[in-house]
Amino acid sequence: MAAAPYRGRFAPSPTGPLHFGSLVAAVGSYLDARAHGGEWLLRIEDVDTPRNVTGAADGILATLAAYGFAWDGPVLWQSTRFAAYAAALERLLAAGLAYGCACSRKEIADSGSHPAIDGGLAYPGTCRHGLPTGRTARAWRLRVDDTATGFVDRLQGRILQHLESDVGDFVLRRADGLFAYQLAVAVDDEFQGISDVVRGADLLASTPRQIWLQHCLGYATPRYAHLPVACNAVGEKLSKQTRAAPLRPEAAADQLVQALSFLGQAVPAELARASVAEVWAWAKAGWSFAAIPRQPAIAVVPA
Ligand SMILES: [Zn+2]
């Protein structure tokens, strides 16, 4: 059987402008796709509509173009995909794999639940065998069990979680009616035929949940590579919350070189004054996946 053609993706959330950490993920996924002769798709993860910032998505597309990224096919917007997410949830409910949950955040906190692997609270399973008398469902959750769910990451090695104790039955549709990130990503990776996910290691803890969902929905599981995450001097991931500086398109060539260096590439000194096109020509010819550092986070001092 022939291997599926390589198809990668970059999937930013329009919660603010791209910063150096986003650039590292974009560069890593783009060059891995091109090195495999594969496609690189773009998805705007605007499923969590209250967090979207007006104009941010257009800014992201303009920034990617200014940095010389060329994506294949039309951009997929999660905000147009609610019917697909609803259909996936219906399938899971019909199969008895998902169920309605009446618990408020406070009730979960008061139930003696322990911290989940991603910093939230592990769901204690209160509504798993039916809603408490007189209560109605406000969210929908996916059943998990405590067998080991895992995968071998191309960079981080073997990752295993016991979903029941590490996160508990997790939310597919939230009390505010929005579909959860985990469901949207699993449905969209399948819809776009993604063979390879290359993204920041901040999403490593989410991956076993996405793989569990893929199994429940009968989807293929992509290969994964979780890149080191760019952190500031005090070890916080660069993000809008930690006030990471927006990318500066006038410095695109310099920042691409910095991203390549961050990813362990042996960038020659003469590339320091190169154009965006010259940086990409070198990067596509000289890209070495094997040179990417294996650790999940690396501090950077932004220029
Ligand atoms: Zn509940």
How does pLDDT run across 3-22, given as a tens digit for each residue?
Answer: 679 999 999 999 999 999 99
pLDDT of residue 299: 83
Between the CA of 125 and the centroid of ligand 1 the distance, in Å, is 6
Ligand 1 centre distance from Cα of residue 143 (Å): 12
- What's the CA gap between 51 and 80, in Å, rounded? 16
In the numeric block, the tokens 């890593």 are attached to 28
pLDDT score, position 301: 65
User: What angle (nearest 5°) sits at the alpha carbon of residue 7, between those of residues 210 and 51?
Assistant: 50
216 alpha carbon to ligand 1 midpoint, in Å? 20
Q: pTM value?
A: 0.94
Segments of the chain with pLDDT less than 50: 1, 303
pLDDT of the residue at 303: 47
Q: Can you tell me the distance from the alpha carbon of 110 to that of 87, in angstroms, rounded to the nearest whole number?
A: 33
- Taking residue 85's Cβ as centre, other Cβ atoms within 10 Å add up to 21
- Gap from CA of 214 to ligand 1 centroid (Å): 23
Give me ligand 1 centre to Cα 131, in Å. 7
Helices (H), the chain: 20-35, 56-66, 82-94, 105-110, 163-166, 181-191, 207-217, 252-262, 276-286
**134 C-alpha to center of ligand 1: Å?**
13
CA–centroid distance, 60 to ligand 1, in Å, is: 37
* Ligand 1 center to 103 CA (angstroms): 4
